[in-house]
Amino acid sequence: MKVLVGVKRVVDAYVKIRVRGDGSGVDTANAKMSMNPFDEVALEAAVRLQESGVVTEVLAVSVGPASAHEQLRTALAMGATRALHVAADPALEPLAVAHTLQGICDREAPDLVLLGKQAIDDDCNQTGQMLAALQGWAQATSVSGLELDAGGASVTREIDGGLEHLALRLPAVVSVDLRLNDPRHPKLPDIMKAKRAQIETLTLEELGVDPEPRLSVLEVTEPPRREPGVRVSTVGELVERLRNEAGVLS
């Protein structure tokens, strides 16, 4: 059984985001970049399935600039069998990424596609759903539990009312939540081995994907600064401020 895992290069989750002076987007110059945390969870799930003997091959795929090789080598160090890079602009829209993954699915014929439910840079939460629709495959989103057997997958989803259990026929697309697992930290020997590993590279043209954007960004701004809090000395003063200043009490 082959599993394809999507890996996206994003600004590290612990880095303070800066907006460009012209408001055209996020300033990534000299910013620390990492693998999208949701994708790390998806990759860890695939590697664990491989270690259990259910999966025979884990293919890590990244769509983006050449610098995405860094995240693909991290994926190899974590336990991925192969790495594939599709050269593209980092601002590729979710639909174009879904078409790209569709081309790779046609080429590689995976039994399961594992994706993070969203990327922390755009929070779109769209690629998995779009890919499943393009392929006509079963899908499950926001998955916090995953098991595979010979013919399908059993997943647990977190929904507003509690937990939902689904059975999927393979091939399928599954997008995972952070609560599925805790990703491992690669060991030094695995990191050194990954540095020497071969990474296959394709282009959007080879996969027949049109990268033309369908959306345009009008402006990117930082959120407004929060006003400092106010200390009150009595409950009466608190109630008065809530009624007269905040307007939350009638």
Report how many domains make up the chain.
1
Q: What is the mean pLDDT of residues 214-240?
A: 86
pLDDT value for 250: 72
E-strand ranges in the chain read 2-6, 9-11, 33-35, 57-64, 82-87, 112-116, 138-148, 152-159, 162-169, 172-176, 200-203
Q: What is the mean pLDDT of residues 212-229?
A: 85
| DSSP structural state of residue 19 | B
In this predicted model, what pLDDT tens digit does every residue of 172-193 receive, in sequence order?
Answer: 999 999 999 999 999 999 999 9
Asked which of 82-96, 119-133, 216-230 is least confident by mean pLDDT, the reply is: 216-230
Instruction: Evaluate if residue 170 carries a pLDDT over 80.
Output: yes
Angle between helices 127-135 and 94-108 (to 10 degrees): 50
Q: What is the mean pLDDT of residues 112-119?
A: 95
Q: What is the mean pLDDT of residues 46-70?
A: 94
Range of the domain at 136: 2-246
Express as a percent the part of the chain with pLDDT over 70.
100
Q: Between the CA of residue 148 and those of 24, 27, 50, 72, what are the distances in Å? A: 44, 41, 11, 25
Confidence of residue 149 (pLDDT cuts 50, 70, 90): confident
Give strand pairing partners of 168. Answer: 153
Q: Are 46 and 5 contacting, i.e. CB atoms less than 8 angstroms apart?
A: yes
CATH number at residue 141: 3.40.50.620
Report the predicted TM-score, pTM, of the whole model to 2 decimal places: 0.85
